[in-house]
Amino acid sequence: MRPHRKTLLALAVAAVAIPAAVAVIPSAQAAAGPDLLPLTVTNNSGRGEATHLYVLGVNGGKLGYVTEAGTFTPWTGGANPPAPAPDVSIDGPADGASKTISVPKGISGRMYMAFGDKLDFRISQDGGLVQPAPWAAGDPNSEILFDWSEFTYNDSGIWLNSSQVDMFAVPHAVSVTGSDGQTAVTGELRPGGRTAVINAMKADTSFGGLVQTRDDGTVLRVLAPGKGADRGSFDPDYLAPYIDRAWAAYTGAELTVRPFADQPGQVFKGRTAGDVMTFTDATGAQAATFTKPTTAHVWGCDGNLGAPNDLVVGPIARSLCAALQRTTLGTQAVEPSTDASTFYRNEPTNLYAKVIHEQMVDGKAYAFAFDDVANQESLVHSGDPTAIGITLTPFE
């Protein structure tokens, strides 16, 4: 089974979760990669502020942080209301420089990068971490320019991705070098790509409210539509007309879902009756049912599109959510569509995801939770890594 971004949500407790890019999959193979994997952060941003790095995640079922040398330490000292976390920042590289830190095997989490001020983290009474959420009113990090990448490193190797699932902020590329000496890179914006994304959002009356700008004129981020809706700066029912049409399209026609690219014979057939779409398997037995989702369910790939970590309901739900995000559902007989030229062609569409993908050098991005459907995600992986990298690229 191909790993995917949302698996660690099973570990979530309110704001405590640190979702990572991929599943933590037990491996029967021999351990690959060093116990401490070098992570080199290169600052080509062109910005003069100090940078601060944080490596945070889950290791052995415990939430904690990683030092520059690669030591994992669980959080302690939580309270109700959540208390300020200790300063576990790592001094990042100045513009034009690099900094190498170590990532221990067995961790899944995030590496935050912040410009200027340090980030404000809080620890709850049960040891959970309250992370920056600039889409929430009163978040102390809302005026800080920051972003993160997500990773899992275990005996099966390393998975590392950039993420725009919640917001688009700091341009950066991710890379991995394997034992064969080959380096894979993704997540790099085209020249002028950050400005192009921001301008496209500002030019659209529906999406303009997603752009957050500091008093000094710095554009801090573009919120994803779901986060904008949470904040009150985006129409919470934006996709409703499209969802209605897409759902109704299969009242008189059959939808075929082939969720596994490597298992083309695994097929589910769907039909809509009222607000419910019912799927049957190859034997004709009922396999799953889905009630028509709301716009919020589509943005979050949750609610009526909740995807359990199984081999039937979850894969169908992932395919449906990706199809609704890309506005292919209702116009395709087979999902998921693997032809990117069919994406984002129906209105109203997810302009946020569309433009971000367009501005990536390789067209790959994690603009929503299941953007890995049809391999559209900005993810690098090696089963036998020797090093990984994050490059902060120019703000242009």
User: How many angstroms from the chain centroid is the CA of residue 39?
Assistant: 20
Residue type present at position 239: L
Max distance between CA atoms of the chain, in angstroms, equals 62
Is 254 annotated in the active site?
Answer: no
**Among residues 150, 302, 335, 377, which one is catalytic?**
150
As a dihedral over the C-alpha atoms of residue 91, residue 94, residue 99, residue 105, rounded to 10 degrees, the angle is 50
Write out pLDDT tens, residues 267-290. 999 999 999 999 999 999 999 999
Cis before residue 81, ω within 30 degrees of 0? yes
Q: What's the N-to-C CA distance of the chain in angstroms?
A: 38
**Among residues 117, 126, 147, 166, which one is catalytic?**
166
What is the residue whose two structure tokens read 């992986």?
381
Give pLDDT, residue 126: 86
In order of their start, the domains of the chain are 5-197+360-392 (2.60.110.10), 240-347 (3.30.920.50)
Is 371 annotated in the active site?
Answer: no
Q: Please, what is the Cα angle at 386 between 385 and 387, to 5 degrees?
A: 100
Contact 194, 358 (CB under 8 A): no
DSSP string over 326-386:
TT-TTT-SEES---GGGTT-SSS--HHHHHHHHTBTTS----STTTTTTT-S-EEEESSEE
Q: What is the pTM of this model?
A: 0.93
Give pLDDT, residue 22: 37
Angle between helices 240-248 and 313-325 (to 10 degrees): 120
Residues 6+ apart with CB under 8 A from 274: none
CA–CA gap between residue 298 and residue 370 (Å, rounded)? 10
Q: Which of 219, 238, 250 is nearest to 352 (CA)?
A: 238
Tokens found for residue 280: 């049957």
Q: Which of 367, 334, 311, 387 is nearest to 2 (CA)?
A: 311
Q: Which residues of the chain have pLDDT under 70?
A: 1-31
